[in-house]
Amino acid sequence: MRRITILRACIVALALTAAYAGAPGALAQEAVRIGTSAVGSSLYVVGIGMSKMIQEKAGINSNIEPLGGSHANMFGLERKNIELAIANSGAAYDRYMGIAPFKSRYPIRLLAQGQSSFRWMLVRKGSGISKPEDLVGKTIAANRKPLPEVALVASALLKEFGIAKNRLRIVSTADLEAENRGLRTGTISAAVMPFSLSQPVTVKLFSDGVVEPLIISRDRFDAIKSALPDIFYTQVIRANHYKNQPEAFPVLAMKILLAAGASLSEDAVYKVTKAIMGHHDEFAKIHASARAWTVKNTLAEPKIPFHPGAIRYYKEIGAWNAEMDAVQNRLLAR
């Protein structure tokens, strides 16, 4: 199934590139490169959809650059390898604020926001872990180089419950598939996982009865969130969303967003934003996760300031108000 998805994504990307390359006057128009995750990932497919909308609705040539992940795309913006980046809000916040792995602040700006990406601990059923204190003596996956927030979440959780790191074994994993194998074979007892409501690996782990969430009281969860950088919001996964998940549980959530450098022209950003957000029904047909790219979702819980070109579009449709002006001013003052 994964090979088919990758093949289809590649075919679509090649078709779009070929079609637009032959369009009259294409070379005379503006061009933008969109940084995405790896070929075949959901963000790559969403990026293809954005590229299609930008070319068809804005008349701007657009290409996809799979740079490998959120933080890689943030580096790509600064290095001028891309003009637009699809990334999670945590990486965007780190880039804006100059938090490691970045060495200095950089003026990136928000265009739109879409689906949520979660970070929370899932534990292997039968591992003997029903509360955080049970992690003592266990092996957990809580380091992922491209996702530095994974280690932050693990550290905050352990600190909240007074568990020293030397009382358990924390291992690094290269990707989600490595965590999947470790949880299924029992080489790890728990993992701070990146997942979503419909992420296939996570859905299968639950449906096969391999994992369950680490559930703690809401006040302890809120204390953990408060101890972390302002990159997360709280989302509650309703009971029975996943198979074999009878109890609702909160997770730390970040939004996937589209960002640009502040230097990208207001007119170009206005056209790009309008092309994507102004044709939601058409864009939503590209991929299931594209349905989450709405104006309402975009204006809720932003972690970086909006680009003036995007603000121009949201004002045009009557979605931007005095409250959003206050939010923008607060984000700019950080």
Q: Report the pLDDT value the prediction gives residue 132, as an integer from 0 to 100.
A: 97
Name the CA dihedral angle for 66, 72, 77, 81, rounded to a multiple of 10 degrees.
-50
Distance CA 120, CA 250 (A): 9
Q: Report the pLDDT value the prediction gives residue 251, as an integer from 0 to 100.
A: 98
Q: Report the pLDDT value the prediction gives residue 14, as an integer from 0 to 100.
A: 46
Q: Report the pLDDT value the prediction gives residue 13, as an integer from 0 to 100.
A: 46
- How confident is the model over 97-142, as pLDDT tens digits? 999 899 999 999 999 999 999 999 999 999 999 999 999 999 999 9
257 pLDDT more than 70: yes
**Is residue 294 classed exposed, middle or buried when 0-12, 13-18 and 19+ CB atoms within 10 A define those classes?**
middle
- How confident is the model over 263-303, as pLDDT tens digits? 999 999 999 999 999 999 999 988 888 999 999 999 999 99
In the structure encoding, which two tokens stand for residue 124, read together? 């292997």
Q: Report the pLDDT value the prediction gives residue 68, as an integer from 0 to 100.
A: 78
Q: Which CATH class is domain 2-116+255-332?
A: alpha beta
Q: Report the pLDDT value the prediction gives residue 174, as an integer from 0 to 100.
A: 86
- How confident is the model over 194-230, as pLDDT tens digits? 988 888 899 999 999 999 999 999 999 999 999 998 8
pTM of the model: 0.79
Average pLDDT over residues 176-203: 93
Average pLDDT, the chain: 90
18 pLDDT more than 80: no
**138 vs 14, more confident:** 138
> pLDDT above 90 covers what percent of the chain?
77
21 pLDDT more than 70: no
Look-up of token digits 């640009």: 260
> Which CATH entry fits the domain spanning 118-254: 3.40.190.10, 3.30.499.10, 3.30.70.920, 1.20.1070.10?
3.40.190.10
Bridge partners (DSSP) of residue 146 are none
Q: Report the pLDDT value the prediction gives residue 148, as an integer from 0 to 100.
A: 87
Q: Report the pLDDT value the prediction gives residue 313, as an integer from 0 to 100.
A: 98
What are the CA-CA distances from residue 162 to residues 139, 151, 176 (Å)? 17, 16, 28
Banded model confidence at residue 145, pLDDT cuts 50, 70, 90: confident
The ranges of the chain annotated as CATH 3.40.190.10 are: 2-116+255-332, 118-254
Average pLDDT over residues 40-51: 87
9 pLDDT more than 60: no
Banded model confidence at residue 146, pLDDT cuts 50, 70, 90: confident
Are 275 and 57 contacting, i.e. CB atoms less than 8 angstroms apart? yes
Average pLDDT over residues 169-178: 92
* Residue among 146, 242, 129, 133 nearest 186 (CA): 129
319 pLDDT more than 60: yes
